[in-house]
Each structure stands twice: as C-alpha cells, then as structure tokens.
Amino acid sequence: MRRIAILNQKGGVGKTTTAVNLSAALAATGQRVQLIDLDPQAHATLHLGIEPMPDDLSLYDVLTASASLAEVRRPAEANLWVVPSHINLAAAEMELAGVVGRELILSDKLSADQETFDYTFVDCPPSLGVLTLNALATVDEVFIPLQPHFLALHGLGKLLDTIHLVARRLNPRLRLSGVVLCMYEAGTRLAVEVTNDVLAFLAQAREGRTPWAGAQAFQTRIRRNIRLAEAPSFGQSILRYAPESHGAEDYRALAGEVRAQSSQPAIARAS
C-alpha cells in the first residue's frame, strides 16, 4: 500500500481538489483507495457528498478517543472510502497538547486497521500543527500541490524543513515524491517561469541526500477548469460530475503517472 499526504501549508492551492479527484481517478482504475480527511473544514468529506451529522463519529473520535478507522470510514464512490472530518477536529489540536505521543495517533490507528487498500491519501489542513504532524508520521510519501503564481515557491522552504525534521525525528521513510502543478494557465509566462523554477529546484535536489532528492514534478498539469470548482457543491468527484471535462481528463492522466511511479526505483525506496 502507498500512503501519501497531500500537503501545503498554504490554503487554496488545490490540496483538497487533488486529494479527492486523484483518489477518485485511481479508484476508477480499480485501485482500492481510502481518503483520510484531516482538515477540520471537512472540504474533502463534503466534496464526496458526505454530510457529517452531529452524532456521527469522525476522525475527531479516532484521534481523541477510542474510535477505530473502520468505525468511521464511509463508502463514497466505487472502490473509494472516506474517513470523514468534522469541524470539532479543530479542537483536537488543543486537546492533544498534553498527550504523550500525540504525533503518532493516526499512525497507530492505521497500523491497527485490518482493511487493506492500494492507496491511502491524507488531505492535510493548511497549517503545520499536530494534525499535519500526524499525517507526516503516518505516510511514506508527500505530494505538494503548487499553484504557479509568483509566490508559489515562497514558503516551500519551511514546508521542506518540516518534512526533513519529521523524517529525522518521527518517520525515516518519509519522502517528497511528487509536485503537482494545479490551476495551471497554459501559455502564460508566469506558469512557464514558475514551472521552470520548480523543475530546476528538483533537478538540483537530486544531488543531495534530503527527503526530496527523489521528487518529480508530474508531467500532468491540472488546468484551471470551472467544472473542478463546481463539483464540490454537487457532492461528487469530477469523474462523476463531469467525466468529459478537462478537469477529469487531467486527474485521470495524473492517476496514470502516479501508478507508473510505483515501479520506479526512486519511489520504491520510499514505499
């Protein structure tokens, strides 16, 4: 099983859109996929049409109480399951403050889970707090979605520092394995410049021994597509909501690249 966190401490860069639609696109190829919604805003949960009711158990109960992942996991689309979030997850950050080993709760719960999946994705909140640390302690790989605008690389340093720190202290398997360019405006100079900066950075990183030495920028660029912005309000992935759209086409192509990655040596090391 590959375990992948979708991470960027900036909001609005395409994390949730990528977590949901990449999961759905992999599920559509017959892979068994679980998506863990670690953001208290519950956008991934809602995007897949799951409306948390007040009495429903959620990831909050998994992280702060004795609930198992199996107890809260819900089917969303064929081959796709969601571990739903809830707004009260925002309080978990504080509630866990005094708990020893609080960064390892999700990892322990996933180890205890009997169900098997080909992919587990974690949609991270836009911060580097204890929730995100739980994600990074659990996964083997990180995908970073980037929106090519002029501050895209700003903040990347801090993100990579965090990955480095977690790799050293909590999870030696952790690797950045992919960068996804989202909301891509083909033909604009800015998109080309930012893309070249990202490629140059990753090429240079290959020399080093950092957790991002094996990272690739996916060839697939996720184009700006209004259908992708509409799909969440219909509670459906883009593959269901608008299967013929550019958005669906791009996430299917990305899923193909992600599956091909599994057989490459640099990535095999990470899993």
DSSP-assigned beta bridge partners for residue 259: none
Q: Which residues does 101 contact at the CB level (< 8 Å), separation at least 6? A: none
What amino acid occupies position 51? E
Q: Which residues does 66 contact at the CB level (< 8 Å), separation at least 6? A: none
Stretch that binds Mg ion, among 10-18, 65-73, 139-147, 178-186 (CB under 5 A): 10-18
Stretch that binds Mg ion, among 12-20, 86-94, 133-141, 175-183 (CB under 5 A): 12-20
Q: Are strands 74-77 and 80-83 parallel, antiparallel or unpaired?
A: antiparallel
Beta strands in 163-266 (DSSP E): 175-184, 216-223
Angle between helices 15-28 and 246-261 (to 10 degrees): 70
Interaction between residue 14 and ligand ADP (CB under 6 A): yes
Interaction between residue 156 and ligand ADP (CB under 6 A): no
Candidates 16, 132, 134, 261; binder of Mg ion (CB under 5 A) is: 16
CB of 142 to ligand ADP, least distance (A): 14
Contacts of ligand ADP in 69-128 (CB under 6 A) = 126
CB of 42 to ligand ADP, least distance (A): 11
Choice between 242 and 267, CB closer to ligand ADP: 242
Candidates 229, 234, 260, 264; binder of ligand ADP (CB under 6 A) is: 229
Complete edge-to-edge strand list for the sheet that includes strand 119-123:
74-77, 80-83, 33-37, 119-123, 2-6, 141-146, 175-184, 216-223
Choice between 214 and 247, CB closer to ligand ADP: 247
**Tokens encoding 239:** 């593959």
Location of structure tokens 């950045």: 176
At 123, phi and psi to the nearest 5? -85, 115
Stretch that binds ligand ADP, among 56-64, 130-138, 168-176, 226-234 (CB under 6 A): 226-234
5/197 Cα distance (integer angstroms): 23
CB of 57 to ligand ADP, least distance (A): 23
Interaction between residue 155 and ligand ADP (CB under 6 A): no
Interaction between residue 160 and ligand ADP (CB under 6 A): no
Candidates 46, 59, 105, 182; binder of ligand ADP (CB under 6 A) is: 182
What distance, in Å, lies between the first and last C-alpha atoms of the chain? Answer: 8
State whether residue 30 is helix, strand or coil.
Answer: coil
Q: Are strands 33-37 and 80-83 parallel, antiparallel or unpaired?
A: parallel
Contacts of Mg ion in 23-52 (CB under 5 A) = 43
Measured from the Cβ of residue 155, the count of other Cβ atoms closer than 10 Å reads 13
Candidates 2, 7, 9, 17; binder of ligand ADP (CB under 6 A) is: 17
String marking each residue 123-142 x if it binds ligand ADP according to CB under 6 A: ---x----------------
Taking CB within 5 to 8 Å according to partner kind, which of Mg ion, ligand ADP, none is near residue 12? ligand ADP
- Residue ranges binding Mg ion (CB under 5 A): 15-16, 43
- Residue ranges binding ligand ADP (CB under 6 A): 11-17, 43, 126, 182-183, 222, 224-225, 228-229, 232
